[in-house]
Amino acid sequence: PKVFIASGNRGKITELRRLLPGVEVVGTHDVPEWTAPPETADTFEGNALIKARAGCRASGLPTVADDSGLSVDVLNGMPGVRSARWAGSDATDRSNLELLLHQLFDVGVDRRGAHFACVVAAVFPDGTEIVRSGTMPGHLAFEPEGDHGFGYDPIFVPQGERRTSAQMSPEEKDAISHRGQALRAIIPELLEKLER
Protein backbone atom coordinates (compact mmCIF):
# COMPACT_ATOMS: atom_id res chain seq x y z
CA PRO A 1 0.00 0.00 0.00
CA LYS A 2 1.05 3.55 -0.84
CA VAL A 3 0.19 6.85 0.86
CA PHE A 4 1.14 10.45 0.20
CA ILE A 5 2.23 12.29 3.35
CA ALA A 6 1.22 15.91 2.83
CA SER A 7 3.74 17.55 5.14
CA GLY A 8 6.81 19.73 4.77
CA ASN A 9 7.97 19.17 8.36
CA ARG A 10 10.92 16.73 8.42
CA GLY A 11 10.63 15.89 12.11
CA LYS A 12 6.99 15.02 11.69
CA ILE A 13 7.60 12.98 8.51
CA THR A 14 10.31 10.93 10.26
CA GLU A 15 7.86 10.05 13.02
CA LEU A 16 4.97 9.34 10.65
CA ARG A 17 7.15 6.97 8.57
CA ARG A 18 8.19 5.17 11.75
CA LEU A 19 4.57 4.83 12.82
CA LEU A 20 3.46 3.45 9.40
CA PRO A 21 5.62 0.33 8.99
CA GLY A 22 4.89 -1.65 5.84
CA VAL A 23 3.35 1.35 4.10
CA GLU A 24 5.11 2.86 1.09
CA VAL A 25 5.36 6.58 1.74
CA VAL A 26 5.32 9.12 -1.08
CA GLY A 27 6.81 12.49 -0.11
CA THR A 28 6.14 16.03 -1.31
CA HIS A 29 9.24 15.99 -3.58
CA ASP A 30 7.54 13.19 -5.61
CA VAL A 31 4.38 15.25 -6.15
CA PRO A 32 5.25 18.36 -8.19
CA GLU A 33 1.56 19.42 -8.12
CA TRP A 34 1.73 19.74 -4.31
CA THR A 35 1.77 23.19 -2.74
CA ALA A 36 1.03 23.66 0.94
CA PRO A 37 -2.47 25.16 1.31
CA PRO A 38 -3.10 28.03 3.74
CA GLU A 39 -3.98 26.57 7.16
CA THR A 40 -6.97 28.79 7.75
CA ALA A 41 -8.91 26.66 10.25
CA ASP A 42 -8.75 27.36 13.97
CA THR A 43 -8.75 23.69 14.95
CA PHE A 44 -6.21 20.88 14.48
CA GLU A 45 -8.91 18.78 12.83
CA GLY A 46 -9.85 21.55 10.40
CA ASN A 47 -6.24 22.10 9.34
CA ALA A 48 -5.43 18.37 9.09
CA LEU A 49 -8.40 17.98 6.72
CA ILE A 50 -7.39 21.03 4.65
CA LYS A 51 -3.93 19.51 4.12
CA ALA A 52 -5.12 15.94 3.51
CA ARG A 53 -7.79 17.01 1.00
CA ALA A 54 -5.33 19.23 -0.88
CA GLY A 55 -2.77 16.41 -0.85
CA CYS A 56 -5.22 13.87 -2.21
CA ARG A 57 -6.28 16.27 -4.96
CA ALA A 58 -2.65 17.00 -5.94
CA SER A 59 -1.36 13.42 -5.80
CA GLY A 60 -4.42 11.34 -6.68
CA LEU A 61 -3.25 9.04 -3.87
CA PRO A 62 -4.63 8.18 -0.43
CA THR A 63 -3.18 11.00 1.66
CA VAL A 64 -2.30 11.40 5.31
CA ALA A 65 -1.82 14.80 6.92
CA ASP A 66 -0.99 15.75 10.51
CA ASP A 67 -1.88 18.95 12.29
CA SER A 68 -0.40 19.27 15.72
CA GLY A 69 0.87 21.70 18.31
CA LEU A 70 1.59 22.55 21.90
CA SER A 71 -1.12 24.07 24.11
CA VAL A 72 0.08 25.84 27.25
CA ASP A 73 -2.32 26.18 30.19
CA VAL A 74 -1.29 29.68 31.37
CA LEU A 75 -1.48 30.92 27.77
CA ASN A 76 -5.07 29.70 27.45
CA GLY A 77 -4.05 26.94 25.07
CA MET A 78 -1.70 28.97 22.88
CA PRO A 79 0.37 28.46 20.72
CA GLY A 80 -1.95 25.57 19.73
CA VAL A 81 -2.65 25.61 15.99
CA ARG A 82 -0.12 28.47 15.72
CA SER A 83 2.77 26.39 17.11
CA ALA A 84 4.76 26.18 13.87
CA ARG A 85 4.99 29.95 13.43
CA TRP A 86 4.79 31.20 17.03
CA ALA A 87 7.89 33.39 16.62
CA GLY A 88 6.77 34.75 13.21
CA SER A 89 6.64 33.74 9.57
CA ASP A 90 10.39 32.96 9.46
CA ALA A 91 10.35 31.12 12.80
CA THR A 92 12.58 28.11 13.47
CA ASP A 93 12.05 25.36 16.05
CA ARG A 94 14.68 27.15 18.15
CA SER A 95 13.18 30.66 17.91
CA ASN A 96 9.71 29.27 18.70
CA LEU A 97 10.80 27.49 21.85
CA GLU A 98 12.96 30.42 23.00
CA LEU A 99 10.02 32.80 22.68
CA LEU A 100 7.78 30.41 24.61
CA LEU A 101 10.35 29.99 27.41
CA HIS A 102 10.68 33.77 27.58
CA GLN A 103 6.90 34.17 27.84
CA LEU A 104 6.89 31.74 30.78
CA PHE A 105 10.00 33.03 32.53
CA ASP A 106 8.13 34.07 35.71
CA VAL A 107 5.70 31.13 35.75
CA GLY A 108 6.48 28.64 38.55
CA VAL A 109 6.94 24.91 38.24
CA ASP A 110 3.39 24.11 39.42
CA ARG A 111 1.79 26.36 36.77
CA ARG A 112 3.73 25.16 33.73
CA GLY A 113 1.19 22.56 32.56
CA ALA A 114 0.88 21.98 28.80
CA HIS A 115 -0.08 19.28 26.34
CA PHE A 116 0.74 18.30 22.80
CA ALA A 117 -2.15 17.47 20.49
CA CYS A 118 -2.11 15.75 17.11
CA VAL A 119 -4.90 15.14 14.62
CA VAL A 120 -4.20 12.88 11.65
CA ALA A 121 -6.54 12.92 8.70
CA ALA A 122 -6.59 10.36 5.88
CA VAL A 123 -8.40 11.30 2.66
CA PHE A 124 -8.96 8.81 -0.17
CA PRO A 125 -9.58 9.49 -3.87
CA ASP A 126 -13.14 8.07 -3.44
CA GLY A 127 -13.86 10.84 -0.92
CA THR A 128 -13.61 8.73 2.25
CA GLU A 129 -12.20 10.71 5.19
CA ILE A 130 -10.87 9.28 8.47
CA VAL A 131 -9.78 11.49 11.37
CA ARG A 132 -8.09 10.40 14.63
CA SER A 133 -6.37 12.29 17.42
CA GLY A 134 -4.03 11.94 20.37
CA THR A 135 -2.71 14.08 23.22
CA MET A 136 0.33 13.99 25.50
CA PRO A 137 0.04 15.86 28.81
CA GLY A 138 3.03 17.23 30.69
CA HIS A 139 4.73 20.48 31.66
CA LEU A 140 7.30 22.92 30.33
CA ALA A 141 10.92 22.77 31.48
CA PHE A 142 12.92 25.91 32.34
CA GLU A 143 15.62 25.27 29.77
CA PRO A 144 16.01 23.16 26.64
CA GLU A 145 17.45 19.65 27.19
CA GLY A 146 18.09 16.84 24.70
CA ASP A 147 18.49 16.67 20.96
CA HIS A 148 16.11 13.99 19.76
CA GLY A 149 12.72 14.77 18.23
CA PHE A 150 11.94 18.24 16.87
CA GLY A 151 9.97 21.40 17.57
CA TYR A 152 9.23 21.98 21.23
CA ASP A 153 10.51 18.56 22.40
CA PRO A 154 13.56 20.03 24.22
CA ILE A 155 11.31 22.02 26.59
CA PHE A 156 8.46 19.52 27.11
CA VAL A 157 8.47 17.03 29.99
CA PRO A 158 5.77 14.34 29.60
CA GLN A 159 3.65 13.49 32.64
CA GLY A 160 5.41 11.03 34.94
CA GLU A 161 8.80 11.76 33.33
CA ARG A 162 11.82 13.74 34.52
CA ARG A 163 13.30 13.98 31.05
CA THR A 164 12.14 16.11 28.14
CA SER A 165 10.69 14.31 25.12
CA ALA A 166 13.94 15.30 23.32
CA GLN A 167 15.88 13.19 25.86
CA MET A 168 13.76 10.12 25.18
CA SER A 169 14.55 7.57 22.47
CA PRO A 170 12.34 7.64 19.36
CA GLU A 171 10.66 4.42 20.55
CA GLU A 172 9.97 5.87 24.00
CA LYS A 173 8.45 9.00 22.53
CA ASP A 174 6.31 7.06 20.03
CA ALA A 175 4.92 4.88 22.84
CA ILE A 176 3.35 7.86 24.64
CA SER A 177 3.19 10.69 22.10
CA HIS A 178 0.15 12.47 20.71
CA ARG A 179 1.27 11.38 17.22
CA GLY A 180 1.85 7.77 18.28
CA GLN A 181 -1.67 7.60 19.70
CA ALA A 182 -3.29 9.21 16.67
CA LEU A 183 -1.45 6.89 14.27
CA ARG A 184 -2.20 3.74 16.26
CA ALA A 185 -5.85 4.79 16.25
CA ILE A 186 -6.03 5.37 12.49
CA ILE A 187 -3.93 2.39 11.31
CA PRO A 188 -6.56 -0.40 11.37
CA GLU A 189 -9.05 1.50 9.19
CA LEU A 190 -6.34 3.03 7.04
CA LEU A 191 -4.79 -0.36 6.23
CA GLU A 192 -8.14 -1.98 5.72
CA LYS A 193 -9.09 0.67 3.18
CA LEU A 194 -5.64 0.68 1.50
CA GLU A 195 -5.67 -3.08 1.01
CA ARG A 196 -9.18 -3.24 -0.35
Which residues does the annotation place in the binding site for substrate?
Answer: 7-12, 68, 150-153, 173, 178-179
Q: Which of residues 15-54 bind ligand ITT (CB under 6 A)?
A: 36, 39, 51
- Do β-strands 156-158 and 129-140 pair in parallel, antiparallel, or remain unpaired? antiparallel
Minimum distance from residue 31 beta carbon to ligand ITT (Å): 13
Please select the residue that binds ligand ITT; options are 4, 63, 152, 186, rule is CB under 6 A.
Answer: 152
Determine the Cα–Cα distance for residues 50 and 36; give it in Å rounded to an integer.
Answer: 10
156-158, strands of its sheet edge to edge: 24-26, 2-5, 63-72, 113-123, 129-140, 156-158
Taking CB under 6 A as the rule, which mask of x and - marks residues 93-122 in contact with ligand ITT? x--x-------------------x------
Which of the ranges 1-9, 54-62, 101-109, 181-189 carries the binding residues for ligand ITT, by CB under 6 A? 1-9
Residue 116 or 124: the one with the smaller Cβ distance to ligand ITT is 116
Closer to ligand ITT by Cβ: residue 121 or 187: 121
Strands (E), 27-155: 63-72, 113-123, 129-140
Left, alpha or beta for 174 (phi > 0: left; psi -120 to 50: alpha)? alpha
Structural contact between residues 86 and 100, judged by C-beta atoms closer than 8 angstroms: yes
Taking the complex as a whole, the smallest distance from the CB of residue 114 to ligand ITT amounts, in Å, to 11
67 is catalytic: yes
CA angle (84 as vertex; 144, 6 as ends), nearest 5: 125
Per CB under 6 A, the list member of 3, 19, 100, 153 interacting with ligand ITT is 153
Beta bridge partners of 79: 71
Q: 21: cis peptide before it, omega within 30°?
A: no
Q: Which stretch binds ligand ITT (CB under 6 A): 8-16, 104-112, 120-128, 184-192?
A: 8-16
Binder of ligand ITT out of 62, 69, 80, 134 (CB under 6 A): 69
Q: Which amino acid is at 181?
A: Q
DSSP 83: G
Query: Smallest distance from the beta carbon of 67 to ligand ITT, in angstroms?
Result: 4
As annotated, the binding site for Mg(2+) includes 67
- Within residues 121-150, the interface with ligand ITT by CB under 6 A covers 149-150
Active site members: 67
